[in-house]
Structure 1
Amino acid sequence: MARNRVAANLLMVFLVAAGLFSVRGIVQEVFPEFSLDQVTVSVLYPGATPEEVEESILRKIEEQVESVEGVDEIRATAAEGLATVSIELELGTDVSQALDDIKAEVDQITTFPVSAERPEVRELTNRQSVMRLAIHGDISERTAKEVAYRVEDALSALPEVSFVQTSGIRQYEISIEIAEERLRAYGLTLSDVAQRVRSGSLDLSAGSIETRDEEVRVRTLGQNYTQQDFESVVVISRPDGTVVRLGDIATVRDDFEDVDLITRYNGRRAALVEVYRTSDEKVLEIVDAVQAHLDAEVIPSLPAGVSLDVWANEAEILQGRLSLLIRNAILGLALVLIALTLFLELRLAFWTAVGIGISFVGTLAVMFLLGVSINVLSLFGFILAIGIVVDDAIMVGENIYAEREKGVEPEEAAVRGARRITGPVIFAVLTTCVAFSPLLAVPGTFGKILNAIPIIVIAVLVLSLIESLLILPHHLSHLPPPHHSAKSRAGKALERVQNAVDARL
């Protein structure tokens, strides 16, 4: 394209425009999120021993799911009050389909113990929070939880944030304690009381009423939530109209579940609020929005004695890698400009550096098309490519400059120089691409982690090859003749520096 100015410039504009338009659509995350090709089934069985859990839950789940297509290995763990089954899938299995099949098989089990809770089936991923906030102070557990929920609601309302979760603190629990003497006095059993509580705390549909203009749905709202709600549950109703309520015979406590969970931050009670990235949200935008809202709204409104600190900010890792890439890119381009300007020609150095930038910008379009996110691993691929990509552009530029020194006309020199070096440049790029291509075939979790690196490196090299052979020759076809005397002061000063370097070497 050395002789076709329009085609060369159109190709350059297309690569730059495609990269710039694609950058907004590229997912931005710290580490790539992907499925671990595992599905877990968890069943809570309060009060059961590990032997009971194994016999009444684990064996039934194992027998039911082992026939699901794509299952490679099943591992079961029985703990006190908890059954966990980890199902590892074969490579290449459709995880979503396998998840649906496993759910269907587990739902068919009707012989679980009555006191066992509903099975939870979920896919395992490497999802991590973007920010982790610690709310701490010399406060009660309830205060820490309530403040954490307020912070969670405030952050969830931000347009940049869609998922916030409170952790590190126990769940609320309504506990009911009844003395055995009270039960005998009223002729009740624990099962009777449990049945009264269960039936007295329900939201039920009562059908609908049809009118000439509309249909009105009727629903009874009886779900209990607070200590007072449960204390008012009727346990015994006598023919004479007297009633015995739960609060009359039992002690009802609105407290926390009895589990071994204590969270401390700097030696003080704490609750954690974790901010996650979902869908196509961008990590750096989330962190900036959360930090600004914390400083402006949340922290000033905290109760006395309560503090909020950013315990972990994963975006700092991404920002650090991005800063490293920018520093390396600036340093690399500066070295190319200085070296080529001192030994060859300023315009040749400029267009060579521009070509390197074009190949990197064009790679953004490849990332968007292949679904590669901006993360620490893809940025590492860019950093690797910086040290490799300059070779082909420099070789093409040097050969064109050599043809000009022989007295060949500018366009002809660009064509001859590019043609003479085409073969070596292509094979040099292909050799590097072949060296990185086996990483594309690495299976399993490790392959998903490394996948971005070869894609980035190969894309940068291929686009650099296209730019060097199709775009750069046109730009270098306008080089001035060798030993052309500069007219400006800056040009003359540069010539004196070049002559001094030549003389010393």
Structure 2
Amino acid sequence: MSIAKFSVKNPVLVNVIMIAVIVLGTYSLLTLPRELTPDVSFPWVFVWTGAPGLSPEDTEKLITNEIEKEVRDVEGIDLITSISRENASFVWLRFETLSEDEFDKRMQDVRSEVEKVDLPEAAEEPRVLDFSIQDHIPMVSVVLSGDISEREMKDIAEDLRDDILEIKNVSKCQLAGVRDREIWVEVDPQKLQSYEMAISHVMDAIRAKNLDLSAGDIKVGRWEYRVRTVGEIDRIEQIKKVIVRANPIGHHVRVRDIAEVRDTFEDPEVLSRFNGEPSVTMTVSKKKQGNSIQIIDELKLLVKEYKSNRLPANANIAVINDSSVQIREFLGILQNNAILGMILVVVALYVFLGIRNAIFAAIGIPVTFMFTFMFMKYTGTNLSGSSLFALVLVLGMIVDDAIVIIENCYRFIQEGYSPREAALLGSKQVAMPVFSSSLTTVAAFLPLMLMEGVIGEFLKIVPIVVSLALAASLFEAFFILPSHIAEWSRKIQNRNEGHIRFTKLRRLYLRYLVKFLRRRYLVLGIATLIILLSIPLIWVVGIDMFASEEIPRVFVFVDLPEGTKLEITDQVIQQVEDVVFQLPETELVNVVANSGLQQREEEWFFKPSVGQVVMELTNENRRDRSISEIIAALRPKINAVPGITSLEFKIFESGPPTGPPVEIRVRGPYLDELQKVVELIKEEMRNMEGVFDIRDDFVPGKRELQIVVDEEKAALLGLTVAQIATNVHYAFEGGVATEIRDGDDEIDVVVKYKEESRQNSSDLENMKIATPLGSLVTLKDVARVQTKQGYSTIKHDELKRSIAIEANVDNKKTSALKVNQELERRFADISRRYPGYDLVFRGEFEEFKDAFNQLGQLFVVGLILMYIILAGQFKSFFQPLIIFMAIIFCFWGATFGLLFIGSPFNINNLYGLVALAGVAVNDSLVFISFINDARGRGVRRWRSILGSGKVRLRPILLTTITTVIGLLPMAIGIGGKSDIWSPLANVMVWGLSIGTILTLFLVPCLYAILGDIKRLIMGKRFMDEKGRIMQGVRRVLESVPGNGRNGSSVREESE
């Protein structure tokens, strides 16, 4: 028993299943997590190693190089880059696309290799971390500000953090702007010298005092006692009383005699403000299964409670960087366009099929969507911009199957069959072409699931959702629809009923089809010529790299001369804030300022001489100026602030982290020579139109006072280089002598020279160091101090030292692709000009080339799969090639459409072209299928072509119109425009609109030409060609309802 027959015989069961699908699908829709972007994890691993006290050169030599050597042989690594800076090493590993289990295994391999590295004593335990989209785009931030003490602000922030972590599906809450509490023992070197002591004596004394140690058990008589030595410190007063030295006659030197002890905070690394007030920021990330909107709603309730009951009067708390706003807005745009598209589809169905048939087809839309939501819920897929666009994309397609079946069943009813018979016969006749058309569409989309890299991860959900929806639409078309047609259709008494509106259009089509068929070789030649002449249109349209959605948030990155103190940087950042605060309330929401920090896409950069100001702007419907216009107005004003050496504006964008538009990494062994090559490239870039914000990531670093130890003199006194370095570190950086506990807090006790004794090189040269022999020695007696320029950071690319050049591009003047290609051409011979040095292009250009190559390969795979499906159905090697011509026609239409709307080709649009290929073949497939069926019944060639054209005109137009109308609101932005998805929708709309018109005329001509070739091969002559065509025309026109005088005119015109 066929599926359609089962459906017709069991209408109650069918309707119960349909209702169950709608109920379960509605529940799935309401509980699906909603996100701005798909929740993807990238195959990236970070190895972070703390290295307190080590310079960038030492970090590179002792840590980074060693880790890179160990991990480079781990299977599947695609790229290794690293950063060595003062106090830290950062190694970044990018893997090939792996399954979740494979990635976990590779990550464990990395951990195993890192554990083998012999690190210096100063290094901390390396941390191996993975990376997800939540690390790139945090969900939300909470900022606490106001005129309260730092300790009070810290306590409130930590309490709030603990409460935030209690919210379901929150994974982490990171505090920024909070300093750890420390006990400082600030030693006076003059007093130390008067007592003939060094700073190491103070360190040892405090460390030795803070002890609570068990010494086992002893038995005394009948009792057993635990022996414990108690000397634990838990108060500042105890530290002050610690005895550093005593003599036999009872004199003691205590800590309070030589140092000041105070309860304070660690030296600030970053200074933060919110709307001009000191602040603490909490950045919140979620677990993969979490729903951002639900979590943020709960967070806002928590913040409201703190505002009402738990904050002092002069403290403020606010939610910023709220991704739920963008999620709601972006998903709202897609939802509005989906609803508008759905309404337009139903209206189109009503116009062409009547209200009853329109309802039959329209029922399939919610049923299919609910099925899809159920699958998404089961597979853990969230409702993101990508998945929702896939549903908008497939909106018109999912009624195509229903339209073909309904129209065919309706035709049988018009011929006098009962609704029950028509439902069975109509479904059976088109079952194979309908199934094949859906299969060819899936065949075009499914290979896109294999796309690797960042872009592939972001777009992978589209083919999955499209394939699920098409599978669901087939189920609805063959299992539910026949039952509805059989039960709810009525028998038509008048054979012409329902035909009147379409008859004139059909006659007009047949009249011109005859003309095209008679001149088929001329038509093919003209079509080929138009396509060939249109190839230059691709260059007129232009090719860009990536489209993205602008989020109304702008980062202003500011650099000052290397070595600038944090306090000076903060003064400059405050002046930048003052400029930003001049923006009107209609444009500016809030301002976050950070001195000592830049949150760049590739890394968070901590350094006293850098800073950033982050502007949250209002939505574009509230302001008169675009983000670019606001930046253009601010740039000269901020540039006028004294002390700024580099200024960059960065608009925050949703989407995959692809890097800057232009990023070139110059690689080689010596940094000095690398700088020469970098300057050469930057000079070329300055002369290129539309290229701005040109910068490189080489920073000279602070001037260093390097201590060169005379090892022979030191050895005579029993000193080693390590001992001397440790004593200097204690005095000038501070050493942690011990920890004390205050409640749940563990507080470091830091010993160092008082601030006024660590200001210049003479303080360093005259410091005293204790020798193992018990004497004191002045540093300058065993070492010399020299001044040298150091490095701030040392970066590697594929284990080579590198300097990156980055730039932004004005898309009104040029494109990032053109700039990168031109630079690639100009510096192709760089290795010849500078032996041992080369350059590689990273950032967007690297991702674009990779994605472009993959799309080309996957397109070919899709074509092969479609050819296999079509060749299997038609049992012909050549007929699938006729259908493939429809793809070329649609591509021409899409190119013309992009030219019309002024949008260039980019990865998103190219992705749309691949998807278009799967949709474009459907009309041709059913057309050719009907011709073959007629030929199989013995109908002559011309009559079969014209007859199939007459029968298939309405469903072809309907399927195209519904697909186009479903995407039209998104394409023109009726319900809101998306910079990412609207151009892609235009590709589909223009491609199908123009392609279908050409398909209706050119596919029959190509079929006829293929028949001519067969006849020629078989030795048959083209006998009475005109007569045969006219004979076919007459027989076809006889079957057109309402012929009469109009039919005769068509015949006369044809002749």
TM value normalised by structure 1: 0.83
- Using the TM superposition, give the Cα deviation of residue 403 of structure 1 relative to its aligned residue in structure 2, in angstroms: 2.3
The CA deviation string for residues 411-443 of structure 1, in whole angstroms up to 9 with x for no partner, is 111112222332332233223222222320111
Percent identity of paired positions between Structure 1 and Structure 2: 33
Structure 2 Cα separation of the partners of residues 204 and 274 of structure 1: 40
- Using the TM superposition, give the Cα deviation of residue 226 of structure 1 relative to its aligned residue in structure 2, in angstroms: 7.0
Aligned to 1:311: 320
Contact 2:356 2:489 in 1 (8 A): no
- Using the TM superposition, give the Cα deviation of residue 501 of structure 1 relative to its aligned residue in structure 2, in angstroms: 8.2
Matched, 1:282 2:288: no
Alignment gaps of 5+ in structure 2:
1-6, 219-224, 506-1055
Structure 2 Cα separation of the partners of residues 278 and 222 of structure 1: 44
Relative to structure 1, the CA distance from residue 473 to residue 110 in structure 2 (aligned partners, 3 Å threshold; closer, same or farther) is same
Relative to structure 1, the CA distance from residue 453 to residue 504 in structure 2 (aligned partners, 3 Å threshold; closer, same or farther) is same
- Using the TM superposition, give the Cα deviation of residue 26 of structure 1 relative to its aligned residue in structure 2, in angstroms: 4.6
Relative to structure 1, the CA distance from residue 226 to residue 473 in structure 2 (aligned partners, 3 Å threshold; closer, same or farther) is farther
Counterpart residue type for residue 481 of structure 2: L
Aligned to 1:492: none
Matched, 1:100 2:108: yes
Structure 1 Cα separation of the partners of residues 242 and 95 of structure 2: 48
Matched, 1:335 2:344: yes
Relative to structure 1, the CA distance from residue 368 to residue 198 in structure 2 (aligned partners, 3 Å threshold; closer, same or farther) is farther
Secondary structure at 2:8 match in 1: coil
Structure 1 Cα separation of the partners of residues 227 and 165 of structure 2: 33
Aligned to 1:212: none
Aligned to 1:455: 464
Counterpart residue type for residue 25 of structure 2: G
Secondary structure at 1:30 match in 2: coil
Structure 2 Cα separation of the partners of residues 281 and 221 of structure 1: 49
Aligned to 1:87: 93
Structure 1 Cα separation of the partners of residues 429 and 217 of structure 2: 85
Aligned to 1:370: 379
Secondary structure at 1:474 match in 2: helix
Aligned to 2:1033: none
| Mean CA deviation greater in 391-400 or 462-471 | 391-400
Counterpart residue type for residue 38 of structure 1: W
- Using the TM superposition, give the Cα deviation of residue 348 of structure 1 relative to its aligned residue in structure 2, in angstroms: 2.9
| Correspondences of 1:94-243 after superposition (within 5 Å) | 94-112=102-120, 114-127=121-134, 128-159=137-168, 161=170, 163-201=172-210, 230-231=239-240, 235-236=244-245
Counterpart residue type for residue 364 of structure 1: F
Structure 1 Cα separation of the partners of residues 110 and 297 of structure 2: 40
- Using the TM superposition, give the Cα deviation of residue 460 of structure 1 relative to its aligned residue in structure 2, in angstroms: 0.7
The CA deviation string for residues 248-280 of structure 1, in whole angstroms up to 9 with x for no partner, is 432334333334412222222221122221142
Aligned to 2:53: 47
Secondary structure at 1:368 match in 2: helix
Secondary structure at 1:263 match in 2: strand
Contact 1:41 1:86 in 2 (8 A): yes
| Mean CA deviation greater in 132-141 or 49-58 | 132-141
Aligned to 1:413: 422
Matched, 1:19 2:25: yes
Relative to structure 1, the CA distance from residue 237 to residue 483 in structure 2 (aligned partners, 3 Å threshold; closer, same or farther) is farther
Counterpart residue type for residue 137 of structure 1: G
| Mean CA deviation greater in 358-367 or 382-391 | 382-391
Counterpart residue type for residue 115 of structure 2: D
The CA deviation string for residues 133-177 of structure 1, in whole angstroms up to 9 with x for no partner, is 222234454444333223223333445645433224444444332
Matched, 1:477 2:483: no
Aligned to 2:266: 257
| Mean CA deviation greater in 6-15 or 263-272 | 6-15
| Mean CA deviation greater in 467-476 or 268-277 | 268-277
Aligned to 1:320: 329
Aligned residues: 486
| Mean CA deviation greater in 381-390 or 18-27 | 18-27
Matched, 1:422 2:427: no
Structure 1 Cα separation of the partners of residues 384 and 213 of structure 2: 49
Structure 2 Cα separation of the partners of residues 147 and 271 of structure 1: 10
Matched, 1:33 2:39: yes
The CA deviation string for residues 15-37 of structure 1, in whole angstroms up to 9 with x for no partner, is 44553565577554432333332
Matched, 1:352 2:358: no
- Using the TM superposition, give the Cα deviation of residue 454 of structure 1 relative to its aligned residue in structure 2, in angstroms: 0.9
Counterpart residue type for residue 11 of structure 2: R
Q: Which has the higher contact order (CA 8 A, sep 6+)?
A: 1
Counterpart residue type for residue 423 of structure 2: A
Could you tell me which of 364, 389, 392 is aligned with 2:401? 392
Aligned to 1:68: 74
Alignment gaps of 5+ in structure 1:
210-215, 486-497
Aligned to 2:727: none
- Using the TM superposition, give the Cα deviation of residue 357 of structure 1 relative to its aligned residue in structure 2, in angstroms: 0.7
Relative to structure 1, the CA distance from residue 98 to residue 411 in structure 2 (aligned partners, 3 Å threshold; closer, same or farther) is same
| Mean CA deviation greater in 469-478 or 288-297 | 288-297
Aligned to 2:280: 271
Structure 1 Cα separation of the partners of residues 403 and 233 of structure 2: 76
Secondary structure at 2:490 match in 1: coil
Relative to structure 1, the CA distance from residue 311 to residue 223 in structure 2 (aligned partners, 3 Å threshold; closer, same or farther) is farther
- Using the TM superposition, give the Cα deviation of residue 208 of structure 1 relative to its aligned residue in structure 2, in angstroms: 9.8
Structure 1 Cα separation of the partners of residues 57 and 160 of structure 2: 42
Contact 1:321 1:380 in 2 (8 A): no
Counterpart residue type for residue 58 of structure 2: E
Contact 2:169 2:287 in 1 (8 A): no
| Mean CA deviation greater in 281-290 or 231-240 | 231-240
Structure 1 Cα separation of the partners of residues 398 and 217 of structure 2: 71
Structure 1 Cα separation of the partners of residues 499 and 234 of structure 2: 87
- Using the TM superposition, give the Cα deviation of residue 224 of structure 1 relative to its aligned residue in structure 2, in angstroms: 6.4
Counterpart residue type for residue 75 of structure 1: T
Contact 2:413 2:492 in 1 (8 A): no
Aligned to 1:489: none
Structure 2 Cα separation of the partners of residues 208 and 285 of structure 1: 57
The CA deviation string for residues 207-257 of structure 1, in whole angstroms up to 9 with x for no partner, is 899xxxxxx999999886875675465545777888655444323343333
Structure 1 Cα separation of the partners of residues 154 and 29 of structure 2: 39
Structure 2 Cα separation of the partners of residues 196 and 208 of structure 1: 27
- Using the TM superposition, give the Cα deviation of residue 38 of structure 1 relative to its aligned residue in structure 2, in angstroms: 2.3
Could you tell me which of 419, 422, 446 is aligned with 1:437? 446
Relative to structure 1, the CA distance from residue 236 to residue 338 in structure 2 (aligned partners, 3 Å threshold; closer, same or farther) is same
Contact 1:359 1:463 in 2 (8 A): yes
Structure 1 Cα separation of the partners of residues 164 and 436 of structure 2: 53
Structure 1 Cα separation of the partners of residues 281 and 368 of structure 2: 43
Relative to structure 1, the CA distance from residue 195 to residue 398 in structure 2 (aligned partners, 3 Å threshold; closer, same or farther) is farther
Secondary structure at 2:488 match in 1: coil
Counterpart residue type for residue 454 of structure 1: P
Secondary structure at 2:278 match in 1: strand
Relative to structure 1, the CA distance from residue 88 to residue 464 in structure 2 (aligned partners, 3 Å threshold; closer, same or farther) is same
Structure 1 Cα separation of the partners of residues 367 and 210 of structure 2: 66
Aligned to 2:370: 361
- Using the TM superposition, give the Cα deviation of residue 362 of structure 1 relative to its aligned residue in structure 2, in angstroms: 0.8
Counterpart residue type for residue 64 of structure 1: E
Contact 2:82 2:89 in 1 (8 A): yes
- Using the TM superposition, give the Cα deviation of residue 447 of structure 1 relative to its aligned residue in structure 2, in angstroms: 1.6
Structure 2 Cα separation of the partners of residues 499 and 428 of structure 1: 26
Structure 1 Cα separation of the partners of residues 13 and 53 of structure 2: 76
Secondary structure at 2:416 match in 1: coil
CA RMSD, Structure 1 to Structure 2 (Å): 3.7
Contact 1:174 1:254 in 2 (8 A): yes
Contact 1:19 1:361 in 2 (8 A): yes
Larger Rg, first or second structure (1 or 2): 2
Structure 2 Cα separation of the partners of residues 320 and 221 of structure 1: 63
Structure 2 Cα separation of the partners of residues 410 and 10 of structure 1: 21
